[in-house]
């Protein structure tokens, strides 16, 4: 497996593969890879002849008071995981390679970014859409793989690809969890022992919501209040949001009468964690 640092090297590699008629999968990441990322690499390996994993902590998607500086970085660890899962290339550009002096072009989106993380993190999706567009232009993949933990991000990218006629298939992969239910996240490394225990309240509260829906509840305010009450039993937890939105346009709904997403963002100490479930995924009695 090779680690490429420049757009030029990446393009040369892509040209060589395309010359041989090979298909290409892209797994965009910010590094500090875990089993969630590994599952995306595995999915790409199954569908494509070659798999590129991008590792780039994208400054543009962090707000001024967010964790850009402290975001965990360990390229050796990332290379080990990517290699174990038989990725072909890690694309690991420096910020100056992606954003040269005078950079002033952006990809932005309305509607789907108005709620959830878009509301709490106003610059986030402009940064995500811009960097993902750049990665798509550089790697020119046939398919790209994103985790369902970032459910709004997945919906935004799918919409962007459709709106802008990008010829790329976007594949959403299931959330990967620890044995006790905590969704895998690079940010879990911020948690101390007590916070790690407290973080279970995210999946536990969502499971509470799922049970209500399975028992026939469709009133979103009833479900949201029940999930909130459960989270509030954990002293280390502070709710950013608990919302139910239309899975297609990410707008709030009051009754579950269509495919919906129930999403939570919760601070555990200083660490902001997200988790969710899609109502379509629980039809067969599943829990998160
Ligand atoms: O999900 C992430 O890790 C990032 O938002 C992404 C898609 C790699 C863009 O920086």
pLDDT in tens, 48-90: 999 999 999 999 999 999 999 999 999 999 999 999 999 999 9
Question: pLDDT band at residue 288, thresholds of 50, 70 and 90?
Answer: confident
208 noted as active-site residue: no
Contact 108, 129 (CB under 8 A): yes
Q: pLDDT for 15-48, tens place per residue?
A: 999 999 999 999 999 999 999 999 999 999 999 9
Q: Give the E-state strand segments of 167-270 in sequence order.
A: 169-173, 237-246, 260-268
Answer for the pair 241, 265: CB distance below 8 angstroms, yes or no. Answer: yes
2-173, which class in CATH? alpha beta
Q: Relative to the CA of 150, which ligand 1 atom is closest?
A: 1
Question: Domain coordinates of the chain in residue numbers?
Answer: 2-173, 186-281
**Measuring from atom 9 of ligand 1, which residue has the nearest CA?**
128
User: Residue 283 pLDDT more than 80?
Assistant: no
- What's the whole-number average pLDDT of the chain? 97
Tokens 């976007």 appear where? Answer: 170
Can you name the CATH fold of 186-281? 3.30.1300
pTM of the model: 0.97
Residue 146: strand pairing partners? 172
Q: How far is the CA of 235 from the centre of ligand 1 (A)?
A: 30
- Cα–ligand 1 centroid distance for 226 (angstroms): 31
């Amino acid at each position: 497996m090779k680690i490429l640092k420049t757009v030029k090297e990446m393009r040369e590699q892509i040209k060589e593969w395309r010359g041989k008629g090979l298909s290409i999968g892209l797994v965009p990441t910010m590094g500090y890879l875990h089993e969630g990322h590994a599952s995306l690499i595995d999915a790409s390996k199954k569908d494509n002849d070659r798999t590129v994993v991008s590792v780039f902590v994208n400054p543009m998607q962090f707000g001024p008071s967010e964790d850009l500086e402290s975001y965990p970085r360990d390229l050796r660890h990332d290379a080990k995981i990517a290699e174990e899962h038989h990725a072909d290339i890690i694309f690991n550009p420096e910020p100056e390679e992606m954003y040269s002096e005078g950079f002033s072009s952006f990809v932005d989106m309305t509607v789907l970014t108005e709620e959830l993380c878009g509301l709490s993190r106003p610059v986030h999706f402009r940064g995500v859409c811009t960097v993902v567009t750049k990665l798509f232009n550089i790697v020119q993949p046939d398919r790209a793989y994103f985790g369902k933990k970032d459910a709004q991000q997945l919906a935004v990218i799918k919409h962007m690809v459709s709106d802008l006629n990008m010829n790329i298939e976007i594949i959403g992969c299931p959330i990967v969890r620890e044995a006790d239910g905590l969704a895998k996240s690079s940010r879990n490394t911020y948690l101390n022992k007590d916070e790690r225990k407290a973080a279970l309240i995210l999946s536990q509260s969502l499971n509470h919501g799922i049970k209500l829906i399975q028992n026939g509840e469709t009133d979103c305010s009833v479900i949201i209040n029940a999930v909130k009450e459960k989270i509030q039993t954990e002293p280390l937890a502070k709710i950013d949001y608990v919302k139910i939105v239309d899975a297609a346009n990410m707008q709030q709904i009051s009754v579950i009468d269509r495919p919906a997403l129930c999403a939570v963002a919760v601070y555990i100490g200083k660490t902001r964690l997200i988790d969710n479930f899609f109502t379509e995924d629980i039809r067969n009695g599943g829990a998160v």
